[in-house]
Amino acid sequence: MDKQKFIADETIRVDKFLANKLNENRNQIEQLIKKGLVSINSKPIKKGGVKLKLNDIVEVTLPKTDEITPKEADFEIPILYEDDDLLVINKPPGVVVHPAPSYKEATLVDWLKQKGYSLSTIAGDERFGIVHRIDKDTSGALVIAKNNKTHEFLSKQLKDKSMGRYYLMLLNEPLKEPKCINAPIARNPKNRLKMGIVEGGKDAKTLFVPILENLAAAKLFTGRTHQIRVHLTKLGRYILGDTTYGKKDQKIPRVMLHARELYFTHPNSKKISIIAPVFDDFKKLMPKGIENEKISNLSSRFDPYDGLCNQ
């Protein structure tokens, strides 16, 4: 078991407090509470709604990851960068990042365990080392922490937006010009399987830049569920293969969205930027004659347009 200790610096519900500290959703925190793994001032609690007082000591016991037997993963994951603190992988399309009750196949977490990686436990058994996630059909760069100190360090960057991602996508129609969409996102009240632009939802901001024909790129300023796909609906566009937010009768087998570039600060203070090569299924649908230079350094392509999102 791995025990984490925090001192309350505000009056707040304990589940919300721990969700912020551990970069997890409240459902994950609730599971820890139900298992008797959370205490306040050395007394175990039973409900996440307990209100903390200033300087309360909150302790969380995280189960060891080797307590869960991984499923056999019959796929390989390209590693883009690795050192003693972290690794960055190029997640193939079709691979789910972490286990869920409704998903019975092997996941990225199972692959990591199968390879014998010793990774962080701060996010619990199911999210072994996972700092952030991308959807099953989305491919691309993903950073994974090897220890809790690195996990916390990277999670803070996710919150303060100093960790960033640039995505490539193939659209049903070309974008006419760079565009910033700043619109709140929440669960679609008419369809619980979808997200939507909903008044009172969580702030969400995306910058879209056209590259060539129907190939475009996006920079995330926030990290909401389905953010790129939802914000594209405001532009009258959808990603090829996206039958949730686009046409239902598409023959393309997956959403053509790729996390091309990931940048962050390493715990040793080194600035890191990783570019993830696109997979063959994406490459086959790209505009003919596209030069690698056009997509090799997306960060520089966005620099002239960042001001659009500051207006």
Let me know if 135 is a catalytic residue. yes
In contact, 91 and 134? CB cutoff 8 Å = yes
Cβ–Cβ < 8 Å for 103, 159: no
Give every CB contact of residue 5 below 8 A, 6+ residues apart in sequence: 57, 58, 59, 60
Per the DSSP assignment, residues forming a β-bridge with 182 are 205
The one catalytic residue in 56, 135, 160, 306 is: 135
DSSP state letters, 247-310: -TT----S--EEEEEEEEE-TTS-EEEEEPPPPHHHHHHSPTT--THHHH-HHHHHGGGGGGGG
Which residues are identified as catalytic? 135
